[in-house]
Structure 1
Amino acid sequence: MEAEPKTASYGRPRLLTHEEILGGAVELGLENVTMKKLSSHLGVGTATLYQYFDSRKALMRAAAVYALSDVSLPEDTGQHWSMMARDYVLGLMDLLANNPTYINSMSPTDFGFEVHFKLVEPFLAGMNKRGIAPKDAMRLFNSIGIIAYGGAVETVRQREFEFQDETMDVVARRQFARLDVKEFPHLREALDEFTQTPEQKVSGLMRSAFSAFARYVGMDDEKLFEEAA
């Protein structure tokens, strides 16, 4: 018995919600999304998407904000400013490391600065409550962002070794042992620093950055080290 040929169905295009569209974009990975790919992913025509967003850039900006909408920012419990700054570093680092696509896709040229504004404002408000002016707090947040991004990249790299049941430390030391160490006398002395974990590197960077910031704003950096350890 021959199967009946499929007939095309006509009618109104499938209705979508903004949340469905933005969620689909996040699922595909923001840096890879095109209107054609997303429409195929959602089972609609490309023209349907343009009823909601007039350009890919507008869609990407909204998707970037949506992607961070459920991110829990560090809670302000009245902790020392350095502890709050540390919480932001670790929170952003964890977010980026667990979603590597964000590292490449959170570009202001594609998404605008709204995502950054939503992250920065609560931090500036918290620092202001602690007597740190917004301009100074923004200087601190710039350091936080750079440290968090660097830590996330290091974490992603470290996990590549873990997939092979090894660590970066083990692999680096094994490869270094194959070399003529006489050619690398200085690196041999510094190898322990070279093979630090991402957490150790980030901790060292935070200590240096927060200490420098404390001196910049005239605060006691000894208390900083006690509370941000």
Structure 2
Amino acid sequence: MSRAERLLALLERLRRHRRPVRGEQLAGELGISLRTLYRDIAALQAQGATIEGEAGVGYLLRPGHSLPPLMFGVEEIEALALGARWVAQRSADPALGEAARQALARIRAALPAALRHELDHNPLLVPPVEQTRSDPRWPGLLRQALRQQRRICVGYRDAQGRFSERVLWPFALGFFEQARVLSAWCELRQDYRHFRLDRLQTLELLDSSYARPRQALLAEWRAREGIPPLE
């Protein structure tokens, strides 16, 4: 690996972490010594990368630093193509599926010819599956509520056919094989609850935001469920 490739790889690893990551971990991932890592951190900082931290504490790349123009390895191309095809085929969200196709087209336009060929002839396919049906409007409205941290009012019919009306604070949307599931704080139950989109009868975005940040709700829910925090 050349020094330029190593510096790019270091930037990419820093981008993956939302909290400071120790130098020992970065050096181990890159297969270099701590001394080399410290030199590389200093070189990136000199080039304008906003990397905060110090030896023994950890390093964090602040938002706003632009990476070099698009360049991917073959396996990264395979991962991108597979992910975009999955969203397009199985998300049950027409707007999100179209966005995945558009994003892949933009990536394709920026690739050199050899990698464009790999993308066009990628053999990893995602067959369509029959999904439980839900109103095609729900995913887009829920994604809007998640982005804007809006309270929502839903009419919901549970597995036993019982109907209830709830005001929810949505914080996550899960894309499972046969169902899409909303995770939310329920004002009625004063607790976390999960709702299948195909059982929603009505959905309304309310004008008010919920009282706690979405990230805090997600972190508390993950801790309760024993799910490791996002890196």
Q: TM-score with structure 2 length normalisation? A: 0.27
Q: TM-score with structure 1 length normalisation? A: 0.27
Greater RCO structure (CA 8 Å; 6+ sep): 1
Which one has the largest radius of gyration?
1
